[in-house]
Structure 1
């Protein structure tokens, strides 16, 4: 079924062809406006190309060619954006890495992406990223560039000033020529996601796809030049990168990076810095509504809220409008494999529509609900959500088998999500084919977590399920069978998991079983497990 937002028109002729072209266009159109504001430092739109091309020149000095992969492992901040834009202008492919990953997890992505350079913030929230990576640093990683002061790990690694000094050997003209050569179909980024199966895979997205999709997003939410956008969603995720700072560049808005969500700190920033735009997962708004200082905090500047595909009570939408003061509250659906955006509600939709659905397809996108035999189903029938359109990924990086399993011969991206379209074309998510659950806005894939927990010497078998949690929405519960003669309790396994995997993946509960229930195919019957855990 082809369903598009009636309020929009597919107008791609005026769009820049690439992120470097967008950068030049934004610098001309919005000179004099603040592009990035962080820690009291304001960066003007007119200065962004110069700052980005300084990074490009240094990357070229290190031998980075078009199509090479360059990674970033750092929290939200000004330098993250400058580094990313420099990577884009070099024609390289940006590889963001989750700041919550452990060293082995980050090393796996660096190795499989073939990243030659890594921009890294040495310390964040008490974690030493250089020390985490040191024991497992892949040989393919030639250089690390430190985004703040720290002790470099080897002679080939550089602090920020040393890195920028390298660029003096490459002319501005050469860097500009490289930037100008980047085209719409060139890869812009490689975001690693577990998709519908366990091990993370690199999703290949191109410049033109990103710009077209998020120009529609700008129109729907009503983002305007000069708006002040507090980007809490992490830059390593499409929500913080593409629906975050990239969207700001499309509109001429001011990017205010925020590294760690804390309700009180966010409250203070909204009031003191006159924030207009505040997207995030439902947990963000629930935390704000529950904050004891809500009544005494000036939230009058807030105008736009965007949240994820999770179904939420209509009363929450109404409270966000009434108590938080948002004029625009909308929900959207997307996944990394389609660039992060496929459907969205328009602001004038009823609270029930915004809370209970993810809206209609953006222009250029088809949404089809399909049965197990890949046949389309009529409106009102439940099946797998499939997407087709300009923004579907070019494939999984160096994984043609997984790509063919996900995108069929007719170009339909099989999302692994279950849903239904109503008569108006609104999409409602009802279930997930592959048992994914979402912890505070982060996708968690049981197969990936199970593989990690199986490395514990006392674990013989494990199945991970998502269970409801009032604060986080969902959390993981590990159902464990111990090896014969081994002993282990919940606290011990959780503590071990915290040392070996990103925090959002760590199960919040552990249940021990003599044996896990299985179905006729001898696969773990997770529905039975859920019933037992929730009993």
Structure 2
């Protein structure tokens, strides 16, 4: 019976002194992570939490996050993963939606004091019974250091672990909220381990591999595609508190990172950082881009900048607990630039119409994923669960795609991102791929906006490359040479930055919302 705590204990038994985590100058072994998470589990149980309860966790990518995650998993307590950038509205909604019994988090960020916030707003969180803070500023009662010093009672801990099963909740990850209110995807021990195992086998991850751990832990990119994959393979993770091009590249050079994942925005920022050429990145054998479309130009740039390494595409969602579709090793840059890959492990992919009927090869429809990686649904949202998870083990992704005769999948964009210009369907990702192939374009993001003549037209936000001039007329001509006339954007907006979701994707729903506010009553 596989559980997250059980897999950690097995790894610590097999390789007790092997490094699991690097953090700053510290190397933390599998044995140390296992023992420290035992103490957290014991502390939670002695405080009165029980299997089936939920605990809200808010911290940087740091060892305490993982001690808590693994400790809660051993105690049968589901972690509610929160982002350090969340403030009152998000915290109140997610903690109460999840009915969390306890909170563990950092004391403060440069612009927000979490100790003060929870002390002054106790009435906002009726289910919270305990709070512990990571650092030296909390009193003894609320100190995480006191919690982690708990001496485990073997009988109490053993009894809790015996009650933990593969179908139990291990982590609740909220969707980024690009549309509507955030939904908490119920990821189980079984589903997170299924995704991690399939990816490790697909990419041939080994004990000697070292992952860069800069993707946020409150997202599957950080917890599944980094930490859990490393755990399954008995590999190591270099924890980087949060993404910054210089700190990630420093970690790569210092710890000889071999596996580097990231969303396209992160790679673009790395390449734009002036210090990149001076860093030694020769240890990287595999770069994995996921989270949103990988434009052809970025795929080629990855192969050039990380010379000699494999470039891969990753597709996964909170609802699939992590990766579920990957390109194959050896596919080459041109394949990666076009396809998100094939279903991995024993997972399945279907392309369906609005009624759920499977469509033939080459026809665009909604992508559905089936298999052990699929989450149990959304916590406390029966109707949303029914719509997204039409049958056990299957999820509607909301992405429009098609499949070829070899089983390779090609994503055209979010179902809700498609717009109809003059009666023709337009998928922004196709246009964005063309725009980012222009030498003067760094980032492109398109949305459909209302138009009195065409019904909807494409509005594309452009971040130009530094030092290279580009204007609307030039981009229109560039697109006309490469796209059907109905796909050519009607509007361009040149910007210095774009809003991002917590996972690092361009926040297109917010762009649309801002446009509608600015043009309410107008065009």
TM range (shorter): 0.7 to 0.9
* 8 Å CA contact retained: 1:103, 1:129: no
Structure 2 CA distance for partners of 1:196 and 1:124, relative to 1, 3 Å: closer
* 8 Å CA contact retained: 2:259, 2:284: yes
Is 1:148 aligned to residue 135 of structure 2? yes
Q: Alpha-carbon deviation of 1:110?
A: 0.6
Aligned runs of 1:301-316 on 2, under 5 Å?
A: 301-308=283-290, 310-316=292-298
Residue 431 of structure 1 corresponds to 413
Question: Deviations 1:43-83 (Å, cap 9, x if unpaired)?
Answer: 11122221111001100011111111011011111110111
SS where residue 351 of structure 2 aligns? strand
Is 1:287 aligned to residue 293 of structure 2? no
Q: Alpha-carbon deviation of 1:337?
A: 1.1
Aligned runs of 1:464-483 on 2, under 5 Å?
A: 467-470=460-463
* 8 Å CA contact retained: 1:331, 1:345: yes
* Match for residue 145 of structure 2 among 147, 152, 161: 161
Aligned runs of 1:119-134 on 2, under 5 Å?
A: 119-133=104-118, 134=120
Q: Alpha-carbon deviation of 1:188?
A: 1.1
SS where residue 362 of structure 2 aligns? coil
Q: Alpha-carbon deviation of 1:89?
A: 0.6
SS where residue 138 of structure 2 aligns? coil
Aligned runs of 1:300-339 on 2, under 5 Å?
A: 300-308=282-290, 310-325=292-307, 327-339=309-321
Residue 95 of structure 2 corresponds to 110
Residue 519 of structure 2 corresponds to 513
Aligned runs of 1:181-330 on 2, under 5 Å?
A: 181-193=163-175, 197-308=179-290, 310-325=292-307, 327-330=309-312
Q: Alpha-carbon deviation of 1:292?
A: 2.2
* 8 Å CA contact retained: 1:26, 1:249: yes
Residue 34 of structure 1 corresponds to 19
d(CA) in 2 for partners of 1:144, 1:467: 45
Q: Alpha-carbon deviation of 1:118?
A: 0.8
Q: Alpha-carbon deviation of 1:180?
A: 4.1
* 8 Å CA contact retained: 2:263, 2:505: no
Q: Alpha-carbon deviation of 1:433?
A: 1.8
Question: Deviations 1:72-107 (Å, cap 9, x if unpaired)?
Answer: 011111110111110001011111012221122112
* 8 Å CA contact retained: 1:196, 1:416: no
d(CA) in 2 for partners of 1:248, 1:428: 28
d(CA) in 2 for partners of 1:197, 1:269: 35
Structure 2 CA distance for partners of 1:30 and 1:431, relative to 1, 3 Å: same
TM-score (norm 1): 0.77
Is 1:381 aligned to residue 374 of structure 2? no
Is 1:395 aligned to residue 377 of structure 2? yes
SS where residue 260 of structure 2 aligns? coil
Structure 2 CA distance for partners of 1:385 and 1:316, relative to 1, 3 Å: same
Structure 2 CA distance for partners of 1:266 and 1:411, relative to 1, 3 Å: closer
Number of corresponding residues: 448
* 8 Å CA contact retained: 2:370, 2:394: yes
* 8 Å CA contact retained: 1:102, 1:132: no
Structure 2 CA distance for partners of 1:88 and 1:466, relative to 1, 3 Å: farther
Structure number with the bigger relative contact order (C-alpha 8 A, sep ≥ 6) is 1
Structure 2 CA distance for partners of 1:514 and 1:45, relative to 1, 3 Å: closer
More off after superposition, 178-187 vs 503-512? 503-512
Gapped runs of 5+ residues in structure 2? 419-427, 430-444, 448-457, 466-496
* Match for residue 74 of structure 1 among 54, 59, 70: 59
d(CA) in 2 for partners of 1:467, 1:87: 44
d(CA) in 2 for partners of 1:388, 1:197: 23
SS where residue 341 of structure 1 aligns? strand
Question: Deviations 1:247-272 (Å, cap 9, x if unpaired)?
Answer: 11111111211122222222222222
More off after superposition, 40-49 vs 113-122? 40-49
* 8 Å CA contact retained: 2:325, 2:342: yes
* Match for residue 155 of structure 2 among 173, 178, 187: 173
Structure 2 CA distance for partners of 1:468 and 1:364, relative to 1, 3 Å: farther
d(CA) in 2 for partners of 1:372, 1:108: 31
d(CA) in 2 for partners of 1:426, 1:309: 18
d(CA) in 2 for partners of 1:409, 1:36: 38
* 8 Å CA contact retained: 1:107, 1:137: yes
Aligned runs of 1:406-485 on 2, under 5 Å?
A: 406-409=388-391, 412-435=394-417, 467-470=460-463
d(CA) in 1 for partners of 2:132, 2:197: 32
SS where residue 107 of structure 1 aligns? helix
Q: Alpha-carbon deviation of 1:434?
A: 2.6
Gapped runs of 5+ residues in structure 1? 1-15, 439-443, 447-464, 473-493, 518-535
Structure 2 CA distance for partners of 1:362 and 1:513, relative to 1, 3 Å: same
d(CA) in 2 for partners of 1:39, 1:411: 40
Q: Alpha-carbon deviation of 1:27?
A: 0.4
d(CA) in 2 for partners of 1:384, 1:516: 33
* 8 Å CA contact retained: 1:276, 1:301: yes
* 8 Å CA contact retained: 2:238, 2:251: no
Residue 48 of structure 2 corresponds to 63
Q: Calculate the aligned-residue CA RMSD, in Å.
A: 3.0
Structure 2 CA distance for partners of 1:304 and 1:471, relative to 1, 3 Å: farther
SS where residue 300 of structure 1 aligns? coil
TM-score (norm 2): 0.79
Structure 2 CA distance for partners of 1:507 and 1:372, relative to 1, 3 Å: closer
